Structure 1
């Protein structure tokens, strides 16, 4: 099940994390609606060469990446949380921190780095409390409790399947992408079927998706102080948070791919 990535690292063979900041907040979705305006805003991280259509070659031509690892010009995007203001307008909650993890869970089996033009989607904007599979997403509510002028303590409520039903100083959102690939298709009609999750105590890939690839985990933090929990929703309109979803388009440079492979072999 989904846990915040820092805790999850204890259960994997190897991995690394990359910190960064937002590249853009815009109504684009180059995987689900290429060439069109997206139905809702997405927060993009990674290569700055964003467009309504993407290729790995186009991403590699980005002038820079908003990630500390400049060799990673991939595009990552999510539907971020918004807060409703007193006048009825909505504002994106400020993104205060983000980390992207690359994990290897099967140390005794080969790992394949994503091919050019690989893309995938995890979750769905239209999911509801009744039908969402939340095993691979989670939320955390962090509350600052002041004590005097300069000191205070933090209270953490973690492992939430949906947006917190309590007021929060910070909201953390974690999304775990699948780590088993069918070995053939860089995409599929629903942008999901070419991928699956490893299962069991040995993290085994299913026979339908036998190729282990790095598991990507997004961990984003947002500042929610001043908003009641009833006034927080994802940009897709999901008030429960069941519609949490993440998208990935591969854009590592050739040198970056080699460095990633070495890091995951350690």
Structure 2
């Protein structure tokens, strides 16, 4: 399996600290110990009781990028680059956390003194540079960003940003044996764990608050749809870049993405590159880029990126699972007509850091075919034989009418309100819906461990949690096709 060839450009990329240093073991793979805290665990026939709140499983840092608003256009590239460097710092700190368990067991202040303290100082330096860059470009930087420099360590069982513990105190709670890799399910990385999975039969029907499922289907308004067939990444186009959030930065995602549609969408692709690129979409007028983190089966397969940053060197291991089907369609508004999306409009939905950020921007829906009325956000489903694993997402569909992007890559778009209308003068645009179906052998869960789990690629410190799933989109439809999409939806027709 291959990976797309990168174009190398220097202006911003040369300033960025590339990826985290990997701990090479044997053939170059990275061992990430999963110190998931459970109250009672059976190991080799004897029972050890451990404090569920005692183990620092990951590093939780305030997301500076979500707090930034007033960034002049000419400063955005620099600011995005600084934020990407900050992500690399967290990755490095997490690696340090995961590979120093013996030292932590012997020194209650080890985590605070050698990991979190220095990390705070490095983050403070970047925040100072971000403030300077914003002010130099004519903006007004938030003077309170310094308050967000500090990070905390927290146990894996504290999800969605709640109940963080002090890293210095947590550091002494490890098993005194320092048995690294003890709770990694044999998969060699920090997650997923048994509690990340749920039998789909145990999910209550219609229990998920589908805030993003308020499209026009069957409700009146603009009731049509437009489906675009762009394949399932048959061209094996992968990279660990983040073109929207960190243009010009190599490996800014620290995890690998699937790409369909536009065939020139690495970190260094300009709008002109996107417009001139080939597309995997059957309708050649659709050069949009649609991308999402890959799913992997942690079965020991050595993928093409097994030793690469963004892949195995950062804990994303195993066989990349290609969707059996990728359904991409646009639907309308319950309250009336939709307007055309501007070319190069960028939308991020979901949050790759939801495990530490909390679920405010989480927008994941996991299910099984035949059980579509049972949706979960924070668990991977265990599907019965013959049933496919489903990943579905409905994007924000209210646009501010002016901007194709915003400083935090979110404020220019919004979800509809409960009645299906757009607030604050925003305009309804066609809502993008993506449904991915996978043929995956059902993992088995025995004695609190999961065997051959599947998991979404993630930032290392996010521990492969299902709530971190996310999708990205850049509109590169030509004007005629976008007008056709809008007309079809507003006329109430189903087109492709």
Shared fold, TM over 0.5: yes
**Of the two structures, which has the highest relative contact order with CA contacts closer than 8 Å and spacing of 6 or more?**
1
**TM-score of the superposed pair, with normalisation by structure 1:** 0.82
Call closer, same or farther: CA 1:233–1:256 in 2, change over 3 Å.
same
Q: How far apart, CA to CA, are the structure 2 residues paired with 1:217 and 1:133? A: 20
Q: Does 1:245 align with 2:470?
A: yes
Question: Aligned-pair distance for 1:99?
Answer: 0.7
Q: How many residues align?
A: 250
Q: How far apart, CA to CA, are the structure 2 residues paired with 1:4 and 1:227? A: 29
Worse-matched range after superposition: 221-230 or 238-247 = 221-230
Q: Does 1:104 align with 2:322?
A: no
Give 1:221-232 correspondences, 5 Å limit.
Answer: 221-225=437-441, 227-228=443-444, 230=450, 231-232=453-454
**TM-score of the superposed pair, with normalisation by structure 2:** 0.46
Worse-matched range after superposition: 239-248 or 155-164 = 155-164
The aligned residue for residue 185 of structure 1 is 403
The aligned residue for residue 238 of structure 2 is 25
Give 1:54-69 correspondences, 5 Å limit.
Answer: 54-63=269-278, 65-69=279-283
Call closer, same or farther: CA 1:16–1:186 in 2, change over 3 Å.
same
Give 1:35-114 correspondences, 5 Å limit.
Answer: 35=248, 36-37=250-251, 38-63=253-278, 65-86=279-300, 89-106=317-334, 108-109=336-337, 111-114=338-341
Give 1:71-220 correspondences, 5 Å limit.
Answer: 71-86=285-300, 89-106=317-334, 108-109=336-337, 111-128=338-355, 131-133=358-360, 136-142=363-369, 158-167=374-383, 170-201=388-419, 203-207=420-424, 209-220=425-436
Call closer, same or farther: CA 1:120–1:134 in 2, change over 3 Å.
closer
Q: How far apart, CA to CA, are the structure 1 residues paired with 2:211 and 2:327? A: 14
The 3-state SS of whatever aligns with 2:466 is coil
The 3-state SS of whatever aligns with 2:380 is coil
Contact kept, 8 Å, 2:457 with 2:464, in 1: the verdict is: no
Contact kept, 8 Å, 1:16 with 1:101, in 2: the verdict is: yes
How far does the alpha carbon of each residue in 1:174-232 deviate from its partner, in whole angstroms, 9 at most, with x for none? 1111111111211112111111111123x11011x521111111111122126447422
Q: Does 1:233 align with 2:441?
A: no
The aligned residue for residue 145 of structure 1 is none
Question: Aligned-pair distance for 1:247?
Answer: 0.7
Larger strand fraction of residues: 1
How far does the alpha carbon of each residue in 1:236-255 deviate from its partner, in whole angstroms, 9 at most, with x for none? 15533100111111100122
Question: Aligned-pair distance for 1:260?
Answer: 1.3
Q: How far apart, CA to CA, are the structure 2 residues paired with 1:210 and 1:47? A: 28
Question: Which is greater in Rg?
Answer: 2
The 3-state SS of whatever aligns with 1:217 is strand
The aligned residue for residue 37 of structure 2 is none
Larger helix fraction of residues: 2
Structure 1 gap ranges (5+):
143-153
Contact kept, 8 Å, 2:345 with 2:404, in 1: the verdict is: yes
The aligned residue for residue 247 of structure 2 is 34
How far does the alpha carbon of each residue in 1:130-181 deviate from its partner, in whole angstroms, 9 at most, with x for none? 8224774311124xxxxxxxxxxx6767322234242565211011111111
User: Aligned-pair RMSD on alpha carbons?
Assistant: 2.9
Worse-matched range after superposition: 190-199 or 77-86 = 77-86
Q: How far apart, CA to CA, are the structure 2 residues paired with 1:104 and 1:238? A: 36
The aligned residue for residue 14 of structure 1 is 224
Q: How far apart, CA to CA, are the structure 1 residues paired with 2:348 and 2:368? A: 25
Call closer, same or farther: CA 1:105–1:136 in 2, change over 3 Å.
farther
The aligned residue for residue 34 of structure 2 is none
